């Protein structure tokens, strides 16, 4: 499988984009909603997203140690990327960031085969204000990971890019809401 931006946009349009009145995670009101779980958990969508993000990752230079993000939204993206990376013999691991440290066991907030000092990329589905991915960046940094960038499926163009610049992290997206004429 190879990455097709046009195929991703068509899948987003047919599977994820909904119109109406919605309250977003940021608290903002919107007349459209992107339910990207409908595409990250879709048999074609998962592969297209992973191929697109892997293309971005490989273009950045040396592979990071791992990709991951905030549970639950980033989990299927991470799993798809790691699966396709494995099929291509790329040594890319995955990790997840819990919303809060686990209350038992080792009490970790960052889970997976990563260690302090590893270079990682945070993955996300939709960027609005950037809040969820910024929390993932902060938790990863607190764990000792070096965050290279954030890669997302789509940017709503609602201030997220500026929020990432403020914390010194580049945001890269496969699409923006402009691709849908909204």
Integer Cα distance of 22 and 145 in angstroms: 35
* Cβ 4 vs Cβ 48: under 8 Å: yes
Terminal Cα-to-Cα distance of the chain (whole angstroms): 29
Q: Is 115 annotated as a binding residue?
A: no
Q: Is 104 annotated as a binding residue?
A: yes
Q: Is 179 annotated as a binding residue?
A: no
Q: Is 128 annotated as a binding residue?
A: yes
Q: Is 125 annotated as a binding residue?
A: yes
In the structure encoding, which two tokens stand for residue 80, read together?
């798809």
Q: Is 156 annotated as a binding residue?
A: yes
Q: Is 99 annotated as a binding residue?
A: yes
Integer Cα distance of 92 and 89 in angstroms: 9
Q: Is 124 annotated as a binding residue?
A: yes
Integer Cα distance of 107 and 104 in angstroms: 5
In the structure encoding, which two tokens stand for residue 136, read together?
């993932």
Q: Is 13 annotated as a binding residue?
A: no
Binding-site members for 5-phospho-alpha-D-ribose 1-diphosphate are: 98-99, 102, 104, 124-132
Binding-site members for orotate are: 128, 156
Binding-site members are: 98-99, 102, 104, 124-132, 156
């Amino acid at each position: 499988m190879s990455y097709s931006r046009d195929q991703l946009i068509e899948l987003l349009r047919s599977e994820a984009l909904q119109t109406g009145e919605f309250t977003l995670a940021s608290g903002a009101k919107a007349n459209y909603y992107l339910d990207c779980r409908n595409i990250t958990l879709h048999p074609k969508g998962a592969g297209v997203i992973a191929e697109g993000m892997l293309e971005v990752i490989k273009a950045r230079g040396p592979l990071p140690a791992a990709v991951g993000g905030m549970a639950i939204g980033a989990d299927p993206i991470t799993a798809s990327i790691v699966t396709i990376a494995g099929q291509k013999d790329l040594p890319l691991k995955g990790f997840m960031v819990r919303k809060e440290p686990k209350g038992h066991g080792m009490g970790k907030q960052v889970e997976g085969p990563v260690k302090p000092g590893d270079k990682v990329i945070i993955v996300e589905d939709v960027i609005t204000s950037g809040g969820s991915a910024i929390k993932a960046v902060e938790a990863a940094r607190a764990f000792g990971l070096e965050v290279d960038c954030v890669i997302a499926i789509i940017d709503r163009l609602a201030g997220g890019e500026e929020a990432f610049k403020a914390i010194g992290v580049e945001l890269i997206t496969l699409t923006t809401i402009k691709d849908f004429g909204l």
